[in-house]
Homo-oligomer: A and B are copies of this chain.
Amino acid sequence: MKTDSIETTAETLTSEEIQKINAYWRAANYLSVGQLYLRDNPLLREPLKLEHIKNMLLGHWGTTPGQNFIYTHLNRVIKKYDLDMIYISGPGHGGPAVVAGTYLEGTYSDVYPSVSQDEEGLKKLFKQFSYPGGISSHASPQTPGSIHEGGELGYSLSHSFGAVLDNPNLIVACVVGDGEAETGPLATAWHSNKFINPFTDGTVLPILHLNGYKISNPTVLARISHQELEQLFKGYGYTPYFVEGEEPETMHQTMAAVLDEAIEQIKQIKQAAKDGNAERPRWPMIVLRSPKGWTGPKEIDGHKIEGNFRSHQVPLAVSGSTPPENLHLLETWLKSYKPEELFDEKGKLMPELAALAPEGEKRMGANPNANGGFLLRDLRLPDFRDYAEHVNAPGSPGEGDTHVMGKFLRDVIKHNEDKRNFRIFGPDETVSNRLEAIFETTNRQWEADTVDADEFLQPNGMVMEMLSEHQCEGWLEGYLLTGRHGLFNCYEAFIHIVDSMFNQHAKWLKATLELPWRAKIASLNILLTSTVWRQDHNGFTHQDPGFMDHVVNKKANIVRVYLAPDANCLLSIIDHCLRSRHYVNVIIAAKHPAPQWLTIEQAIEHCTRGIGIWSFASNDQDCEPDLIMACAGDVPTLETLAAVSIMREHLPELKIRVVNVVDLFKLQKSSEHTHGMSDRDYDALFTKDKPVVFAFHGYPWLVHRLTYNRVNNNNIHVRGYKEEGTITTSFDMTVLNEMDRFHLVMDAIDRLPQTGSRGVYLKQLLTDKLTQHRHYINENGKDMDEILNWKWDLEA
């Protein structure tokens, strides 16, 4: 152990303790190798034969023994200090270790009784691993104690820090792979320590697992100097402790000493915080430098294996077509752990070893925080109707939809202050997204230095802001997975930064739904604002409504997309989302002042249906419509209503139906999505044969993807964002993408030959209007007054 900050005694453990701990570690390693190779003869009670070996050897050895080492030592400190601890396995493919650890402590058999604590159970444990339909080589949802799969690398620390928020007694032991440490999200996640309150939050104990290699490359952090590594982590604000070597006895002694020291330091920090010490703590972190594939074969075919990238996957091939000595080598390797000393006759772990594990919910596999749905309590929600915008007539002025919702969110925070189980996350956009009302009741949590002129910045607050969408998403996921509620607010275009994180979370939700022992967690609520249509001063780079396209590919029972046409609808939507479970809810809403359409009662009814005819804007009440004007999203709705008012003035005989879509999946068939509409209901809205002009918030093709198999498919003409934009007004953005009121009318006329010469005349009029608009905006840098001040003014 090298550290310049502490001195530890070299005798934390007695030699008997070392022996026991080492035996426990051997047991975990034995189970890990068994998982990689064996489908039978799990205790080697007979000579190993090819028929005991799996037909396909798949899985990963490299990180496993190091994680077994860590897990074993964490068990010791949990018992010694009576800790409340969960384990996050950051490195890729650490599955065998977590499975072995939870099996040895008994939780695996508790959850899966057929994987029992005997020879038969061991056989099942081994066979299922990396086996068709079995369990994966990560700490997958199937693994008790896991809230982090690790299939995609980089999020272990963010998840860990999210988990300890408002969880003051929890310690998350987060094993960070030195491979994943190269990812961007992980590299910035170290800075999470500037946001953790030592009094109200728990502790993340990062353990950098420096085993030196990725798939076939060394890792960066393993190949810089010790001094640089130490500076890096001090620079990140930690107190680093080093455990380096490979000789088991020394390593056990050192690891135990360092872990004791780290736990003592954590206790001191927590105590100091209770005593009112306001200084940002330099939390401990541990660097464990041990060989990749530790205790595995040293060399095979002249290639170095232990301590080399070659131990990443299955290091020794054993099959009918490999040299017979490989089978023997495997047997020697397995026997090197002396299973006969570890398991009794029935195949159960020896009682003196089993006694090393914590008991009950102190076992990391059984800690309730790792199955957060069981800890989840409903939010106390204020009545959202109390926050309604007063809409005396459609088109009345609004103050900005998210701004209205901000007051509701403020009171959600207030109502749940005592429970501390609702947080808002954002990349420094919460004010920009006009949710600033929440700062009337809470603050941004911030543990770094402050100055006088700071605003809403306190060591304790329910808002988390860091300029990293990865951190916001990762923190929130960790918070939800441990049984709390939250909302991530983000500029629409930049949510793509976490496309892949959304993927993995959606996959986690899908997989956990299939596990009866996992309880449902709160939904992941993503509020997208500062949308494509309102980038007045940010321009083209900030325009991308494609997250919806990304989301709709995931399992229908997991994803929901809502487009709020106005503030009252947004209130109804957010209330619904905060009550929902186990979804990803994507909410798209406006932040700028804009016309409002529905009273709160109308909004509730409309949002409950998710799609519907807006009768105040329609004139087809007594007959079949000639035309359906459909819209989804705030700006498309505005332009659609403006288009309708033009048509109702100039072509009054046209029977127009206005359909607004709030719940995007309504467009899909009920066979494809639980929110989908039957063909009969869909046809009742959109008809089987009438033209539909659809103004859509996103890329227009998404509507076609959702409706391609509807009868009226060929008559739907969709306008949306087609990747045209610049710094300009919202209205001009619609013009550039041909979704403005004038284009929408022209689109309708093109599909309504019955409008005859008056249609032709109107088209010419509108074409002139567009020319006039272009000229005016170029000259004045703003819209013509008739656009700026347009109001819906038809009689209902």
Is A220's CB under 8 angstroms from B494's CB?
Answer: no
Interface of A is mostly: loop
The residues of B that contact A59 with a CB separation of less than 8 Å are 537
Interface residues of A in 119-174 (CB under 8 A from B): 130-138, 140, 149, 151-154
Is A496's CB under 8 angstroms from B507's CB?
Answer: no
The residues of B that contact A39 with a CB separation of less than 8 Å are 781
A135 to chain B, nearest CB (A): 7
Is A781's CB under 8 angstroms from B539's CB?
Answer: no
* Given known A216-B431, A230-B235, A538-B151, contact A186–B184 (CB-CB < 8 A): yes
Is B494's CB under 8 angstroms from A152's CB?
Answer: yes
Assign chain A's interface to a size class.
Answer: 35 or more
Tell me how many chains of this kind the complex includes: 2
Is B709's CB under 8 angstroms from A701's CB?
Answer: no
The residues of B that contact A137 with a CB separation of less than 8 Å are 537-539, 727
A34 to chain B, nearest CB (A): 15
Is A217 in contact with chain B by the CB < 8 A criterion?
A: yes
* Given known A132-B781, A228-B234, A468-B182, contact A428–B214 (CB-CB < 8 A): yes
Is A728 in contact with chain B by the CB < 8 A criterion?
A: yes
The residues of B that contact A454 with a CB separation of less than 8 Å are 218
The residues of B that contact A546 with a CB separation of less than 8 Å are 503, 550, 553
The residues of B that contact A787 with a CB separation of less than 8 Å are none
The residue on B at minimum CB distance from A549 is B549
Is B131's CB under 8 angstroms from A224's CB?
Answer: no
The residues of B that contact A467 with a CB separation of less than 8 Å are 153, 179-180, 182-183, 214, 217, 219
The residues of B that contact A609 with a CB separation of less than 8 Å are none
When each residue 467-505 of chain A gets 1 if its CB lies under 8 Å from chain B and 0 otherwise, what string results?
111110000000000000000000001101101100110
The residues of B that contact A429 with a CB separation of less than 8 Å are 215
CA separation between A228 and B240, bound complex, in Å?
Answer: 13
Is A728's CB under 8 angstroms from B132's CB?
Answer: yes
The residues of B that contact A432 with a CB separation of less than 8 Å are 215-216
Interface residues of A in 368-427 (CB under 8 A from B): none
The residues of B that contact A110 with a CB separation of less than 8 Å are none
Is A220's CB under 8 angstroms from B549's CB?
Answer: no
The residues of B that contact A446 with a CB separation of less than 8 Å are 217-218, 223
CA separation between A190 and B231, bound complex, in Å?
Answer: 14
Is A23 in contact with chain B by the CB < 8 A criterion?
A: no
Q: Which of A50-58, A632-640, A652-660, A764-772 lies at the interface with chain B?
A: A50-58
Contact of A133 among B216, B450, B466, B778 (CB under 8 A): B778
CA separation between A190 and B182, bound complex, in Å?
Answer: 10
Is B553's CB under 8 angstroms from A131's CB?
Answer: no
Is A56's CB under 8 angstroms from B781's CB?
Answer: yes
CA separation between A214 and B651, bound complex, in Å?
Answer: 51
Is A444 in contact with chain B by the CB < 8 A criterion?
A: yes
Is A458 in contact with chain B by the CB < 8 A criterion?
A: no
CA separation between A701 and B503, bound complex, in Å?
Answer: 17
Is A515 in contact with chain B by the CB < 8 A criterion?
A: no
Interface residues of A in 488-536 (CB under 8 A from B): 493-494, 496-497, 499-500, 503-504, 507, 510-511, 536
* Given known A130-B537, A152-B493, A231-B231, contact A223–B701 (CB-CB < 8 A): no
The residue on B at minimum CB distance from A142 is B726
A29 to chain B, nearest CB (A): 20
Is A554 in contact with chain B by the CB < 8 A criterion?
A: yes
The residues of B that contact A224 with a CB separation of less than 8 Å are 194, 237, 448-449
Is A188's CB under 8 angstroms from B194's CB?
Answer: no
Is A84 in contact with chain B by the CB < 8 A criterion?
A: no
Is A777 in contact with chain B by the CB < 8 A criterion?
A: yes
Is A457's CB under 8 angstroms from B218's CB?
Answer: yes
The residues of B that contact A507 with a CB separation of less than 8 Å are 540-541, 723
Is A536's CB under 8 angstroms from B453's CB?
Answer: no
Interface residues of A in 200-232 (CB under 8 A from B): 214-220, 223-225, 228-232
Is A781's CB under 8 angstroms from B215's CB?
Answer: no
Is A729 in contact with chain B by the CB < 8 A criterion?
A: yes
CA separation between A469 and B154, bound complex, in Å?
Answer: 11
Is A614 in contact with chain B by the CB < 8 A criterion?
A: no
Is B500's CB under 8 angstroms from A497's CB?
Answer: yes
Q: List 22 A-B contacts (CB under 8 A).
A: A54-B781, A56-B782, A132-B729, A132-B777, A138-B541, A182-B471, A183-B469, A184-B468, A215-B429, A218-B451, A220-B466, A223-B446, A223-B449, A228-B236, A229-B235, A231-B231, A235-B236, A497-B499, A504-B541, A553-B723, A701-B708, A709-B714
Task: Give 13 new A-B contacts, CB below 8 A, not counting A217-B446, A555-B723, A704-B708.
Answer: A130-B727, A133-B726, A137-B539, A152-B497, A180-B467, A183-B184, A217-B428, A217-B444, A224-B237, A313-B537, A496-B500, A705-B705, A709-B714
Which 7 residue pairs across A and B have the least CB separation, nearest first?
A: A151-B541, A232-B235, A184-B184, A58-B537, A231-B235, A223-B448, A187-B188
